[in-house]
Structure 1
Amino acid sequence: MPLAHLAHLARFQRLAAILLLGFASGLPLALTGQAMQAWLTVDGVDIVTIGFLGLVGLPYTFKFLWAPLMDRFEPPWLGRRRGWLLLSQLALAALLFFMAGLSPQAAPGFFALIAVTVAFLSASQDVVVDAYRTDVLSDRSEHGLGASVHVFGYRLAMILSGGIALIWADQWDWPTVYRTMAAIMLGIAIACALLAPRIDAALKPPTSEAGQDLRGFLAMLLAVFAGYWIARSGLTLIGFDPASKNKWIELLFVLTEIAVALPLAAWAARKAKFETFNQSLTSYFSLPGAAAFLLLIVLYKLGDAFAGSLTTPFLIKGMGFAQAEVGIANKIIGIWLTIFGAFLGGLLMLRLKLYRALLVFGVLQLVSNFGFYALASLGKGAWGAVMVQPFDWGFVALKEAAALDWLLLTVIAGENISGGMGTVAFVGLLMALCNSRFSATHYALLSAFSAVGRIYVSPLAGVLSESLGWPVFFILSILLAMPGVIMVWLMRHSILALIQPARPTPETD
């Protein structure tokens, strides 16, 4: 076979693996996010509690703490990255099956604990998926296309677990839906083990001493718990009650615990010589503007995250839309539009390049939030509705004709197309910032910062939506989107510099 054909075949195999892994990454996210919110909503859990249960996603913001171990160690037989993929996916399948047997209303505490564990496993899978994608796409000319394919797979999974799941829940029940998702995850694990190409053998793990790294990780973990205890005890001593039902006090405890625990963990890693962690941080912060890039990553999707943190409860409880209507409009049509936006963004990035794509797509994300404000202000039915006739596609069916609100469809279209475009540019930025030797830790660190908005605004969003009302809530989301766009413009020279050849590894510095 000619070498050109072999190269095309290898490229197809890489992109097919990225598509499958994008699907694997997106599937469990909704099951601890918006699909779980729908389960909690119909099970009678109050809106503020649902907002605080958004904190089950905390592992997504802490995954950079254990990502160095996934850089340093490799499970046997399957090679770099692929062994961790199989382990995390099999564990996710098992725990989703177990979660299906729980009741969120009868045992909310235990349900939240299991949901946090699912989020931990999902975050761990994401660490490896992101590192694998960065490593297997060593040619930076493929980054835009790879990001589009990843978003395509990711959003297909969101259609399934975040959209079709709501329709299935109307037909069956939520435990059956979660058991079905567990079976799908098991199939993904088998497919990835068989089909994903191996990473270039030249990309070796860091060479720090294994025992020292494990001791350093344990020291860092102890520091996290110590920081949690210090913050909690300090607030208690000055008069705040950790058992208070006041949601603002609960939020104060959460944010203070995190603010104390993370710096203490970084100090412990240095003192205990957690070298893989320390070297990866040194490598990242050697990049000009490294700290500013972290701030940009937090801000770029903040307005989107704030508006989207309670979208499902807003549509079901706030606006009175039926579960099936939300499933069709927001989770099926909407996510297909996100996929369209992702491919459109990938194509436009071939001409706009990274800086202009981040700027233009960021502005579009900001503008799209006005749609939710219009929906909250004008109300359901303001633009009329279109009827969707019953259908049965085998894997999903609609028993009765359903009305789809035109304003809802318009809002969903604008939000999802712009969001898909912004996500492609954002993923391209994260990949460009990674050093291949520490890609798991670097991407985990960067994506953890990107999850700050999605995770930490959730409890605040629940409180504000209840106290201010939905129209003001969405105006606030627009204001929160502005700093990210401004940061892109201010950092234009640093972003343009990222399109230069790949950063050298420490061995070639």
Structure 2
Amino acid sequence: MTTESPRGKIFADRTLPLMLALGFSSGLPFLLVFSTQSTWLREVGVSKEAIGMISWVALAYSLKFLWAPLLDRFDAPIFGKALGRRRGWMALIQIGVALCLAGLSFGHPGEGLLWTICFSFLLGFCGSTQDITIDGWRIAVAPPERQGALSAASQVGYKIALLCAGAGALYIAQYQSWRAAYLAMACLMVVGFIANLFAPEPNAHIETAPGARKSLIETYAEPLKEFFARNGRSTLLFLLLLALYRLPDFVSGVMANPLYIDLGFSKTDIANITKIFGFGVGLAGIFVGGWSASRFGLMPTLLVGGIAASASHLSLALLAHIGQNLHMLTVAICVENFAGGFAGTALVAFMSSLVSPLHAAAQYALLSSLYALPGKILGGFSGFAAAKFGYSAFFVGTSCIGVPVVALCVAVWRAHAAQGAGAEENSLA
């Protein structure tokens, strides 16, 4: 029996609170360029069509794999020499996020959208790049046995940030102004910046230092080649399910807050029910999803999550049909958030099962970037669909996307089982 050294305990104690703060910093920008911003835009009279297209600025979160390897190979300007490669990039990008939030606060979207679109695009790029830097630091700073605890701390910090950027920003906007809300969020970026100053710089850069003499093309190509070779004929099936699994959520999510505003709910109502109450229900969905995966297995959980997440949009269709009703809003949010948390946990487990330990960072970055890409592209057209067919029909339509998702889950279940059986036969041979 081995015991953990005092040095290991000190290391863990130091990195966990830092990871909590960095997870907070990572989560803060996301809603401010997505659902919280859509509330602001709809309130000042921006059309549903325009709101849908503006959501495309968040595509950077799905394309971050394109520039992620560059952050591993080169030092950050200004901060790189003083803080090291990973912390240098982190500091530079955190300042960029704060400046973009401050810039957004001085926009007047009711009078013109150019300012808002430009700063939203920059915020999407900086926010997604911050995710790259924080994920890279987490993977490099601790051995594999520490990653579970660090990931949990990161997720908790991220969820707290979503609460601040959701309910917190709406409260400030309700009682002060949208400018005050976005300036307050910009100030909260100091949490992650201070944590970065106290964080240790990893001694090694995961996956890049051993291949320092490799060309840039090889750096990009090797993880892809290994992924396709290992999964064989099932690769495209796995990727197709990955691309479609959360498609209903991404398409419907752009129009959820505009629905609440158009029904006459106040920003306080939205904050109380969809953000604070929904926060707790979403956490419950995450925990139940994790328990289900360990108790019943990954593939059954993935199937149930796909059905639940898609069907949950029928509650929003019913809300749109009934109209302004706080009880129905509460029911809809409970159903949506619980199903979303459950399905999200299943999807993360599925993506993790597809990744090779040898190329964990590169492959997971690719999968986590691409799974949202189709949904975010189609989400840009969601305003046109909601305007043409009405909210009720729109949310029924997003729920119907779940039919091919369920069929894919069954096909992937069979392919996953066949792949596991083949691997077992090879090990016995």
Instruction: Give the TM-score normalised by structure 2.
Output: 0.86
Q: 1:303 to 1:5 in 2, by over 3 A?
A: farther
Give the C-alpha shift of residue 306 in structure 1.
1.9
Give the aligned partner of residue 63 of structure 1.
64
Give the C-alpha shift of residue 298 in structure 1.
1.0
Give the C-alpha shift of residue 39 in structure 1.
1.6
Asked if 1:128 corresponds to 2:133, the answer is yes
Give the C-alpha shift of residue 149 in structure 1.
4.7
Give the aligned partner of residue 181 of structure 1.
185
Conserved 8 A contact 1:310-1:461? yes
Give the aligned partner of residue 41 of structure 1.
42
Give the aligned partner of residue 415 of structure 1.
336
Conserved 8 A contact 2:35-2:253? no
Counterpart Cα distance in 2 of 1:489 and 1:80 = 44
Give the C-alpha shift of residue 6 in structure 1.
6.0
Q: 1:312 to 1:118 in 2, by over 3 A?
A: same
Give the aligned partner of residue 284 of structure 2.
340
The structure in which a higher percent of residues are helix is 2
Give the C-alpha shift of residue 14 in structure 1.
5.4
The residue matched to 1:3 in structure 2 has which SS?
A: coil
Give the aligned partner of residue 329 of structure 1.
273
Q: 1:81 to 1:490 in 2, by over 3 A?
A: farther
Conserved 8 A contact 1:35-1:162? yes
Give the C-alpha shift of residue 78 in structure 1.
4.8
Give the aligned partner of residue 377 of structure 2.
456
Q: Deviations over 1:252-284 (max 9, x none)?
A: xxxxxxxxxxxxxxxxxxxxxx23222232233
Q: In structure 1, what residue type is equivalent to 2:251?
A: F
Counterpart Cα distance in 2 of 1:123 and 1:322 = 30
Q: In structure 2, what residue type is equivalent to 1:361?
A: G
Conserved 8 A contact 2:313-2:395? yes
When structure 1 is superposed on structure 2, of 20-29 and 125-134 the one drifting more is 125-134
Q: In structure 1, what residue type is equivalent to 2:53?
A: F
Asked if 1:308 corresponds to 2:229, the answer is no
Q: Deviations over 1:177-220 (max 9, x none)?
A: 1111111112212213424684767754362558x63xxxxxxx
Q: In structure 1, what residue type is equivalent to 2:94?
A: Q
Counterpart Cα distance in 2 of 1:89 and 1:122 = 8
Q: Deviations over 1:213-239 (max 9, x none)?
A: 3xxxxxxxxxxxxxxxxxxxxxxxxxx
Give the aligned partner of residue 248 of structure 1.
none
Instruction: Give the TM-score normalised by structure 1.
Output: 0.73
Conserved 8 A contact 1:364-1:418? yes
Question: 5+ residue gaps in structure 1?
Answer: 214-273, 382-404, 502-509
Conserved 8 A contact 2:94-2:189? yes
Q: Deviations over 1:13-56 (max 9, x none)?
A: 55545443332222101111111112212222122111111111
Counterpart Cα distance in 1 of 2:65 and 2:3 = 42
Conserved 8 A contact 2:248-2:398? yes
Give the C-alpha shift of residue 154 in structure 1.
2.1
When structure 1 is superposed on structure 2, of 22-31 and 125-134 the one drifting more is 125-134
Conserved 8 A contact 2:43-2:261? no
Give the C-alpha shift of residue 469 in structure 1.
0.9
Give the C-alpha shift of residue 146 in structure 1.
6.1
Give the aligned partner of residue 296 of structure 1.
241
Give the aligned partner of residue 23 of structure 2.
22
Q: Deviations over 1:271-300 (max 9, x none)?
A: xxx232222322332231333222111111
Give the C-alpha shift of residue 130 in structure 1.
3.6
Counterpart Cα distance in 1 of 2:397 and 2:96 = 39
Percent of aligned positions that are identical:
28
Q: In structure 1, what residue type is equivalent to 2:64?
A: K
Q: In structure 1, what residue type is equivalent to 2:173?
A: A
Counterpart Cα distance in 1 of 2:254 and 2:334 = 18
Aligned CA-pair RMSD: 3.1
Counterpart Cα distance in 2 of 1:192 and 1:457 = 36
Counterpart Cα distance in 2 of 1:500 and 1:86 = 46
Q: 1:338 to 1:140 in 2, by over 3 A?
A: farther
Q: Deviations over 1:343-384 (max 9, x none)?
A: 332333332343232222222212322211221222223xxx
Matches within 5 A, 1:84-233: 84-133=89-138, 139=144, 149-195=153-199, 198=202, 204-205=208-209, 207-209=211-213, 213=216
- Aligned residue pairs: how many? 415
Counterpart Cα distance in 2 of 1:72 and 1:445 = 17
Counterpart Cα distance in 2 of 1:146 and 1:358 = 24
Conserved 8 A contact 2:140-2:205? no
Give the aligned partner of residue 51 of structure 2.
50
Asked if 1:490 corresponds to 2:411, the answer is yes
Q: 1:19 to 1:112 in 2, by over 3 A?
A: same
Conserved 8 A contact 1:71-1:206? no
Counterpart Cα distance in 2 of 1:202 and 1:123 = 19
Give the aligned partner of residue 376 of structure 1.
320
Counterpart Cα distance in 2 of 1:482 and 1:4 = 52
Conserved 8 A contact 2:81-2:88? yes
Give the aligned partner of residue 226 of structure 2.
283
Q: In structure 1, what residue type is equivalent to 2:278?
A: G
Q: 1:120 to 1:15 in 2, by over 3 A?
A: same
When structure 1 is superposed on structure 2, of 125-134 and 48-57 the one drifting more is 125-134
Counterpart Cα distance in 1 of 2:291 and 2:303 = 16
Q: Deviations over 1:311-367 (max 9, x none)?
A: 1001111x2211111111112211222122223323333323432322222222123
Give the C-alpha shift of residue 92 in structure 1.
1.0
Counterpart Cα distance in 2 of 1:285 and 1:193 = 39
Counterpart Cα distance in 2 of 1:194 and 1:499 = 47
Q: In structure 2, what residue type is equivalent to 1:368?
A: S
The residue matched to 1:310 in structure 2 has which SS?
A: helix
Q: 1:171 to 1:69 in 2, by over 3 A?
A: same
Conserved 8 A contact 2:163-2:276? yes
Conserved 8 A contact 1:37-1:313? yes
Give the C-alpha shift of residue 142 in structure 1.
6.2
Asked if 1:477 corresponds to 2:420, the answer is no
Counterpart Cα distance in 2 of 1:444 and 1:202 = 13
Give the aligned partner of residue 390 of structure 1.
none
Counterpart Cα distance in 2 of 1:447 and 1:186 = 26
Q: Deviations over 1:407-466 (max 9, x none)?
A: 111110111112112212222333343345654542332122222244212222111101
Conserved 8 A contact 2:139-2:147? no
Conserved 8 A contact 2:293-2:301? yes
Q: Deviations over 1:126-155 (max 9, x none)?
A: 223344455567648965x76655443322
Counterpart Cα distance in 2 of 1:406 and 1:16 = 38
Q: In structure 2, what residue type is equivalent to 1:297?
A: L
